Amino acid sequence: MITPPNTPLPCHYLAAFYARHVISLIDVDLAMTNVSRAILKRISGHVLDSQVELTTATALKHLKIADASPELTARVEQNLATLCTLFNVAPNFGPALGFLVLMNINQGLNQLVDFVGGHFEEKALERLLCEVSGLSANDVSHSLSVLQQNGVILVDQYLNELQDITIPASILYVLTSERIESKAQLLRHLLCPSIETPLKTDDFSYVDVALLQGYLAEAISQQLTGVNILLYGEAGSGKTALAKVLAKSLSVPLYEAQNVRMDEGFLSNEFGAKSSDTQRIQYITMLQSLMGQSAMMLLVDECESLFYSADTHYSKESVHRLLEQNAVPTIWITNYVDQLEHSYIRRFKLVMPVNAPKDEVLEKMSRAEFKGLGISSEFHTRLSKTPNLTPALLANASHVARTLGVKRSLAQGVIEDVIENSLTACDLWDDSMRYQAELAFDMSLLNIKQSSTVLKQINHAVATNAPIRVLISGPPGTGKTALAHHLAEQHKRELKRVLSSDVLSKYVGGSEKQIARLFQQAHRNNQMLLLDEVDSLLTSRERLNMHHERQVVNELLAQLECFSYPLFAATNFETALDSAILRRFDFKLQCDYLSAPQVLTLYKRTVSAPQLSTLETEQLSSLSRLTPGDFALLTRRLRFSAAHEHRQLALAVLTDENNRKQPKTPIGFVQ
């Protein structure tokens, strides 16, 4: 049989001593009770003659054994006395604690109690503890309570018999193998040091690290109690790494409260708990008690299950006390803060979101993570704009690329595959179509009826991130959407484009919730908003028949007034908008068809013609309903034809598009 590491010694001599006391508690004729040979063997460590009949009477003789390991016995007895001193319980309680220890160490003693327990009088084991310690029942009860509060002994809330008391295996190991001198020594084989990270505080510019760092430094210096910090956010955003960086920056060790852990190839359950959450709570409780005066920090990752299990495996009140009285500063991490009741959240001294970094931060991380792989600058920029990208995904992609030994374009392909596959598996890969301008934006080719002063004011507001609201109206293709994207790109701002499909829900009340959620996300992520085709959302309420349709308009109007970043709305049908919406926009831009000089300029660029013939100039000047969108269409059409046919085809396409937009002539007497 393979013995797991850190297994406590069986202590046969002490086990036999307590076994004799257990047998003496039986309230019937001793000779009438048979005893298993296997049990006696495990207690004493001696093999008994199979011919000898064993009863409790004869078993007493076989349990009077010589001490084969007097040094072990002396060490255990001394350690029991030291424990009593360390935890301020009665010094005479050592022998009583020894019985509980041997019940956990020696399987035979535990089985003997179960085997003859039916013959015990009521509270017989409590009397045994009083007899071996010479203490009163009240003193024994108080000592047990103190040790339980300090995590030395563990009592299941559904099992209240003495034989059900457990002691963590790590403490049992220390009791039998070392001479105990301090509380911290009891945790030597139980602590799980956190693996260091190469990251630094500068890598978390998207989090208020200074606040976290300053508070923890003072809390450790002043030895404050009840110091708990909750970090929450999406998976992979760097919460765990941030906790490690904070500990490293403060030069204090960080330990993790894990569910179960592998210990030299064996699955460890130091507390013998019936659930992993119970084990972690017991670990945290004991560590807080034993390491309270030490300069250290504790990390509880994926903590939501601990709170969810309260009142199932342990009481909610015990968790409240832990958050209020813990002596070791603790960082709790969750991806699902909505699963924590408010009564828990209110007890955290600091609650801080750690969301995915902004594009510019991700680009900086990308350059650092993939340094030496020959990645192009354009790739870093494009990769940083990947929706739902996190630092953890960048680290994983770097690991795979470096393991494969690929560089440049091959590395870029591997990186893209790793990130896309991971996000797809999490249902976070966004492969939806995005706005892509067919033509490079040119402000001089935007025909806006308002003065240039208005455009300067709008440009300044976007540059300063002011909460400006701009309505852009005009025929399709005149550059309304392109203008909003251009301003965002010019000032390095993230623009969130919202379509009616992003908002409208088939359920009553669902659209309003979607609108609120989109505005909240944009506010949280410091994004500009573009409400494209806004007429589909803000139709005049006079034209709406259903109450829930008017509620959608009301919700949008309310959110517009509260939004604190630049917001643009584009529509082809300004007259269809609710009258109240017009009053809520600071600027109303009207985009018109291109002027004749603009048409000529854009035509030359599109067909790469430095000069135009007289016929071309006359024909183009007569086209009064062309837009930049028409030239974008022309650019696409020219891809599918030979170069020598471009100018002839261009005139035909533009003429068709212009004529298609001419007002239709009424028929007959209808005027």
> Rounded to an integer, what distance in angstroms lies between the CA atom of residue 437 and that of residue 632?
8
List pLDDT tens digits, range 498-515.
887 777 766 767 788 888
- pTM more than 0.75: no
- First-last CA distance in the chain: 102
Note whether 360-426 and 443-590 share their fold: no
> Which sign, positive or negative, has the C-alpha torsion 393, 399, 404, 408?
positive
Say yes or no to pLDDT of 593 above 80.
yes
Which whole-number Å values give the CA distances from 440 to 75, 385, 387, 570, 595, in the listed order? 83, 20, 24, 20, 18
594 touches 445 (CB < 8 A) = yes
From 110, 76, 70, 119, select the one nearest 95 (Cα to Cα).
76
Q: Using CA atoms of 235, 239, 240, 244 in order, give the dihedral in degrees to the nearest 10.
A: 160
* DSSP per-residue string spanning 50-114: TTS--BHHHHHHHT----S-HHHHHHHHHHHHHHHHHTT--GGGHHHHHHHHHHHH-HHHHHHHH
List pLDDT tens digits, range 429-477.
876 545 556 677 888 888 888 888 999 999 999 999 999 999 998 898 8
> Rounded to an integer, what distance in angstroms lies between the CA atom of residue 44 and that of residue 109?
9
List pLDDT tens digits, range 78-132.
999 999 998 889 989 999 999 999 999 998 888 888 877 666 677 777 888 898 8
Give the per-residue pLDDT at 608: 84
CATH number of the structural domain 360-426: 1.10.8
443-590 carries CATH number 3.40.50.300:
yes
Over 205-223, what HEC string results? CCCCHHHHHHHHHHHHHHC
Residue ranges of alpha helices (H) inside 158-259 are: 169-177, 209-222, 239-249
Phi and psi at residue 250, to the nearest 5°: -95, 0
CATH number of the structural domain 191-353: 3.40.50.300
From 601, 604, 647, 599, select the one nearest 624 (Cα to Cα).
599
**16-20, 224-228, 306-310: which is most confident:** 224-228
Q: Find how far residue 525's CA is from the centre of its chain.
A: 17
Query: Which structure tokens are listed for 616?
Result: 């071309």
Read off the pLDDT of each residue in 29-45 and give the average, rounded to a whole number: 75
Give the per-residue pLDDT at 264: 42
Q: Where in the chain are the domains?
A: 12-187, 191-353, 360-426, 443-590, 596-659
From 237, 147, 234, select the one nearest 186 (Cα to Cα).
147
Q: State the DSSP H helix or E strand holding residue 262, giving kind and residue range, or none if neither.
A: strand 261-263
From 99, 167, 172, select the one nearest 129 (Cα to Cα).
99
From 390, 414, 386, 383, select the one nearest 400 (Cα to Cα).
414
Average pLDDT score, the chain: 83
* DSSP per-residue string spanning 130-145: HHHHT--HHHHHHHHH
